């Protein structure tokens, strides 16, 4: 598509919490140019609600069925966002992790990404559509639905960015960026404008999960954390996390102890 930049935008549960916020997310996306892939989390609180439902019918739900259930949360978000974009006149299509070509190992509930084959994503991008992907999920080589565990949607966004040759991955949060401490707990925490990958990995996981940062570091993928709130986004630059690529080529199977 003639040198158009590819951008991966990731919206977490807080930004997808209500129909009104989903409409605001659609507005943010509608104002952007280029080839856009949007990764979404489940609406705020939905994953916990689904886990609660599972434990009401089974003391120890099977991990396989729990993955089937929990993957629904992101599907709700992606379908609603696609509808909101179409309402604004923006061509969009939603895809599950498996439809997006995210191939994982077989470990239900804590799978790691082995490969990304974004054939269908590329097709829809070439058609001029915004592609919305349900984060946190993939499909094993045995064709089983899997989930990626905590921080899974953050990791999904990086993996897609790498496979698509994106310029960067943008994370839209309910904070202005990365702080020296959790800003929701410490009012004296200071906003940081730029961090190298190595330093970002030393922070507690109150903004991005370390799995996502590790994967980005291995592949030299810049990350940009910013607020989804319009007034904060226009006033604060957010935080860039970037540094030198530590390995050549796309590396998905990183240190399993970190996954």
CA distance 7 to 34: 7
Output the pLDDT for position 251: 54
Output the pLDDT for position 1: 45
Encoded tokens for 45: 């609180």
Give the count of domains, the chain: 1
Per-residue pLDDT of the chain (259 residues; tens, 9 = 90+): 446 899 999 999 999 999 999 999 999 999 999 999 999 999 999 999 999 999 999 999 999 999 999 999 999 999 999 999 999 999 999 999 999 999 999 999 999 999 999 999 999 999 999 999 999 999 999 999 999 988 899 999 999 999 999 999 999 998 889 988 888 888 898 999 999 999 998 886 677 889 999 999 999 999 999 999 887 877 788 999 998 544 434 455 443 333 3
1 is a domain residue: no
The boundaries of the domain holding residue 27 are 6-258
In DSSP notation, 161-210 reads HHHHT-SEEEEEESSSSEESS-TTT-TT--EESEE-HHHHTTS-SSSS-H
Encoded tokens for 99: 């439809």
Output the pLDDT for position 205: 67
32 is a domain residue: yes
Instruction: Give me the CATH number covering residue 18.
Output: 3.40.1160.10
110 is a domain residue: yes
Say which residues have a Cβ less than 8 Å from residue 157's Cβ, sequence separation at least 6.
Answer: 8, 10, 39, 135, 169, 171, 212
Output the pLDDT for position 244: 54
Are 173 and 190 in contact, with CB atoms under 8 Å apart?
no
């Amino acid at each position: 598509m003639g040198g158009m930049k590819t951008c991966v935008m990731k919206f977490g549960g807080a930004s997808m919490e209500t129909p009104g916020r989903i409409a605001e997310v659609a507005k943010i996306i509608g104002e952007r140019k280029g080839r856009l892939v949007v990764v979404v989390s489940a609406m705020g609180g939905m994953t916990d609600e689904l886990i609660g439902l599972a434990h009401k019918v089974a003391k120890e739900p099977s991990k396989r069925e729990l993955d089937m259930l929990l993957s629904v949360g992101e599907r709700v978000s992606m379908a609603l966002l696609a509808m909101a974009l179409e309402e604004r006149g923006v061509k969009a299509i939603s895809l599950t992790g498996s439809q997006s070509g995210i191939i994982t190992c077989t470990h239900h509930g804590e799978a790691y990404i082995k490969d990304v084959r974004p054939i269908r994503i590329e097709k829809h991008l070439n058609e001029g559509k915004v592609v919305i992907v349900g984060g946190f999920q993939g499909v094993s080589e045995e064709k089983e639905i899997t989930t990626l565990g905590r921080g899974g949607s953050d990791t999904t966004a990086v993996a897609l960015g790498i496979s698509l040759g994106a310029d960067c991955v943008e994370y839209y949060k309910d904070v202005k960026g990365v702080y020296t401490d959790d800003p929701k707990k410490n009012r004296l925490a200071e906003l940081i404008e730029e961090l190298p990958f190595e330093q970002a990995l030393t922070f507690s996981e109150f903004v991005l999960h370390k799995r996502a940062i590790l994967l980005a570091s291995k592949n030299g993928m810049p990350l940009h954390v910013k607020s989804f709130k319009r007034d904060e986004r226009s006033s604060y630059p957010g935080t860039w996390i970037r540094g030198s690529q530590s390995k050549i080529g796309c590396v998905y199977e990183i240190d399993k102890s970190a996954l």
